[in-house]
Structure 1
Amino acid sequence: MSTATTLLIIICLGVIGYVAGRIRAGQLVQGAYSALHSRPGYYGAFVLVWTILPSAIVLAIWLAVSPAIINNQVFHSLPQSIQDMSAADRSLELSKINAIAGGLSDLTDEDRQKLESGSITMREALADKGVAIAGEVDEYMPAAAEVYNGLSSASALYRTILVLLVAVAGFVYAYYMISPKMRARNKVERVILGILIVASSIAILTTVGIVWSMLSETGRFFASVPPHEFFFGTVWDPRFAAAGAEDSAGQFGLIPLLAGTLYIAFVAMAVAVPIGLFAAIYMAEYASNHLRAIVKPLLEVLAGIPTIVYGFFALVTVGPFLRDLSTQISGIVTGNAFAFIQAQSVLTAGFVMGIMLIPFVSSLSDDIITAVPRAMRDGSLGLGATRSETVKRVIFPAALPGIVGALLLTASRAIGETMIVVLAAGVAARLTINPFEPMTTVTVKIVNQLTGDLEFTSPQTLVAFALGITLFFITLILNFYALYIVRKYREQYE
């Protein structure tokens, strides 16, 4: 039985338990619901929780643990030569076996007869089922795949039986636990509180896990490369030098990448912030309701466009346009036509990224401005101020803490952008102040260093974690500064 079917059965049992719990609570007091400690719905919810929650936990644990156990059993059934391989090679072999196992389950009897007769190969049979295998299909792989399928089928059967038994046991236990004096509401609310705590803890634990993994790998990187060479180096050349060279680990200077990241983000913010803020002020304070209902959704369509599309737009349209425009301008001014703006440049990437960020600024700022109490507007207008003076001296200062938060979100989005930079600004790590030349960012180099089948054993790959933790601390500093600004102005306008 599939996992989805098992979940559906559990949910149906929970719904039945909810109805049965309500009915039993009413029967115990013979319809006098005032004699119950809690409302009837809480008794039904009590049975529902005991039916669904324990069985769902068992199901989740089984799904998390069983693949590792099955892979371990399959691994021990492989030839000794395969077991003696490195960890990366063993993982590749197991992935092939898993792919073959998925294809074998779809083979028909006719396909198996063709395989036995030798009229088709295993690779051809799997290809007909849409399963592509990288590399050769060795003789031991189909047998190992059959073992994998057998273990998976047995695991699914035992899982279904165990989960349904737990669900039924929880149903029976909760049903007979119901009594008029039972504090059903308290028990259900404690479960809900626990779920809320777990949900909030997931975000915290995820953050801690991400930071810890980056810090641990960054420590390994700094064991090979001195921190001062990374943080203050001006040359980014992570390639390994030739054998016998003095510098065998390359150069990992952060300065060119950090400068490119901040430079492109600054250009993007210079485009997005004025346009987005002016659009937000217009929609919140000047536009009619009919016009606002049309313009705001149209403006927010920009937020739904994938960043790769913006990258294509920059590469195909904006970059060539700026290059041709600079050629015409130089021809008019100097008489010698040349392109002083390259198609891939800081200006191209920053401009297109700024267009992408306009909805973030405008939509968030618009919601913040409209949240300013109406009484502040009416009071300012009643004292004789014009609408523009009211916006400038009353509404904007009152909304400034929220606007700072919106700009922080926008800046974080700009710093973390990758695809637009790859296509519009290039991948060359250069240190320049000319916005008409290409530069690259930290995120682009993280992708470059982790692209391909690599092991995290060399400074080439470990440097990606050092770059990641650097971006993390930059964002953290921005958050601290924004919090300071928000608190400062909130004290003035509350």
Structure 2
Amino acid sequence: MSASIIVLIVLALAAVGFFVGRARALATAGGEIRRLHSLPGYYGYNVLIWTVVPALLVLILWLVAQPMLIENRVKSMIPEDAYADSGALSLIMSDVRRVADGLDMAVAQGVIGAGEAESIGPDDIRDRLAGVGVALGSDVSESTLAAAQRYRAMNATGTMIRSVVILLIAAAGFGMAYMRTGADFRARNSVEKVSLGLLIGAASIAILTTVGIVLSLVFNTIEFFKLYPASEFFFGLTWSPSFGGGSELGILPLFWGTFYISLIALAVAVPIGLFAAVYLSEYASPKVRAVAKPLLEVLAGIPTIVYGLFALLTVGPLLVDIFGRDGAIGVNWMSGGTAVMTAGLVMGIMLIPFVSSLSDDIINAVPQAMRDGSLGLGATRSETIKQVVLPAALPGIVGAILLAASRAIGETMIVVLGAGAAAKLSMNPFDAMTTVTAKIVSQLTGDADFASPEALVAFALGMTLFVITLGLNIFALWIVRKYREQYE
């Protein structure tokens, strides 16, 4: 029985439990709601919760644990001389899963009997699976085929046991909650405790996920620095990875490209976004604001890959037409469409709604009494904005700019398509450069040995970038919090 069918059965049982629990509560109170400790709906929700929550939690854990346990058991069937390293073993296990899926398909189509799938020989397996469109190469050994049969058998047994256990847990929860239902039962307290537990669990999942990400970065970064000197990584001026050996993995060219592109992006986004925020909050009529603000924020919903294509196909060629050898001003500053200026301009457009929306909210938070006092003293609207509103909102605006900067530093797709892949130190904004995030993608792409410095350097890059962006975010949130405490 598939997991989706189990979920549907549990949900149906829970729906029945809601109405049954509610009816039993009313029956024990003689039909008088005033004799119940809680509202009738709480008794129904109590039965529903105890039917659904334990069963689904066990189902989730089962779905995570079963594949891991089965793979560990099946791996022991693969002879050690059949693979050279963990990467080769992973490829063999992929073949095992593919053959097991083919056997399931053959059984479902009647090509192989359910009992025959576990005893059929290697040669027959190849012929039968070819009949359902699963081709096995000559490199698939007899041990792999035997492991696939064992994998399928264990998976089928685990799935059957899972179905029985989950349905029994759901039925037990249903029965326990139903038997506890009565006029004096504190159903509301029980439901609220379970709801609180679910909320705490959801928050814990988010925290544990963050902890897991950080730990994976830390451990792999430590492994990298065991293979490559930290001093050369942080202070090296050359980025030249070579999987054949002799790599130079200095991070400074990547940080320079990241900083340069982010600086151009902020030079575009901050003035436009700030002026847009001032207009929307101080000058625009309610009708104009109701239309302009959502249209401006649409930019934040455009996927970054679309911005990257816009940089590659539109902005880059346009800059070449202006600053190229045969361009409008007759200079040879830009030889190709991929450049720091291309990525910076497009990234600045992407950041406009971040700056404008946050700044607009911050400017609107300035007390109206400050504006009224300035206007009452004879200042004009523009003088009030320049000398009263913006100084009061400045800490929050700085926080918005720092949050936009951290967003720019972490951008990848615009850089990959718009800035190029050259890691170098140059002041020319029309040269092709690259950033830390782009190199993280490139270093983890391909068939490189995961234990090599050229692959592990991606984690060191990610850890360094994580620390920088975390510092920017903390500083920005500290500034915004300080501003809010001043006026709330």
TM-score normalised to the size of structure 2?
A: 0.88
1:94 aligns with 2:97: no
User: 1:484 offset after TM fit, Å?
Assistant: 3.8
Aligned equivalent of 1:167, options 160, 164, 170:
170
Contact 2:411 2:437 in 1 (8 A): yes
Alpha-carbon spacing, 1:75–1:231, altered in 2? closer, same or farther (3 Å) = closer
1:189 aligns with 2:186: no
> C-alpha deviations, 1:396-442, integer Å up to 9, x for none?
44544544443333222211111111121111110112211111111
Letter in 2 for 1:6: I
Where do 5+ consecutive residues of structure 1 fail to align? 242-247
User: 1:203 offset after TM fit, Å?
Assistant: 2.0
Contact 1:346 1:425 in 2 (8 A): yes
Letter in 2 for 1:7: V
SS in structure 2 at match of 1:9 = helix
User: Counterparts of 2:220 and 2:449 in 1: how far apart (Å)?
Assistant: 12
Aligned equivalent of 1:264, options 261, 266, 274:
261
User: Counterparts of 1:374 and 1:318 in 2: how far apart (Å)?
Assistant: 42
Alpha-carbon spacing, 1:132–1:420, altered in 2? closer, same or farther (3 Å) = farther
1:458 aligns with 2:452: yes
Give the CA RMSD over aligned residues. 3.1
Aligned residue pairs total 480
Show the 5 A alignment for 1:69-218: 69-78=69-78, 81-82=81-82, 85-107=84-106, 125=131, 128=133, 136-139=139-142, 141-218=144-221
Where do 5+ consecutive residues of structure 2 fail to align? 114-119
1:14 aligns with 2:8: no
Which residue number in structure 2 is paired with residue 443 of structure 1? 437
> C-alpha deviations, 1:358-417, integer Å up to 9, x for none?
222223333444455556555555554433334334444454454444333322221111
User: Counterparts of 1:9 and 1:25 in 2: how far apart (Å)?
Assistant: 24
1:347 aligns with 2:341: yes
> C-alpha deviations, 1:248-302, integer Å up to 9, x for none?
5422211111111111111111111211222233233333333333333333332
Q: Which moved more, 1:231-240 or 1:288-297?
A: 288-297
User: Counterparts of 2:18 and 2:327 in 1: how far apart (Å)?
Assistant: 78
Which residue number in structure 2 is paired with residue 357 of structure 1? 351
User: 1:478 offset after TM fit, Å?
Assistant: 0.9
User: Counterparts of 1:493 and 1:133 in 2: how far apart (Å)?
Assistant: 70
User: Counterparts of 2:137 and 2:321 in 1: how far apart (Å)?
Assistant: 45
User: Counterparts of 2:387 and 2:40 in 1: how far apart (Å)?
Assistant: 55
User: Counterparts of 2:414 and 2:49 in 1: how far apart (Å)?
Assistant: 47
SS in structure 2 at match of 1:102 = helix
User: Counterparts of 1:200 and 1:422 in 2: how far apart (Å)?
Assistant: 34
1:321 aligns with 2:318: yes
Letter in 1 for 2:34: S
Which residue number in structure 2 is paired with residue 59 of structure 1? 59
Alpha-carbon spacing, 1:110–1:156, altered in 2? closer, same or farther (3 Å) = closer
User: 1:28 offset after TM fit, Å?
Assistant: 1.6
TM-score normalised to the size of structure 1?
A: 0.87
Which residue number in structure 2 is paired with residue 274 of structure 1? 271
> C-alpha deviations, 1:218-264, integer Å up to 9, x for none?
112112222221111111122256xxxxxx54222111111111111
Which residue number in structure 1 is paired with residue 462 of structure 2? 468
Aligned equivalent of 2:409, options 409, 415, 422:
415
User: Counterparts of 1:443 and 1:142 in 2: how far apart (Å)?
Assistant: 41
Which residue number in structure 1 is paired with residue 332 of structure 2? 338
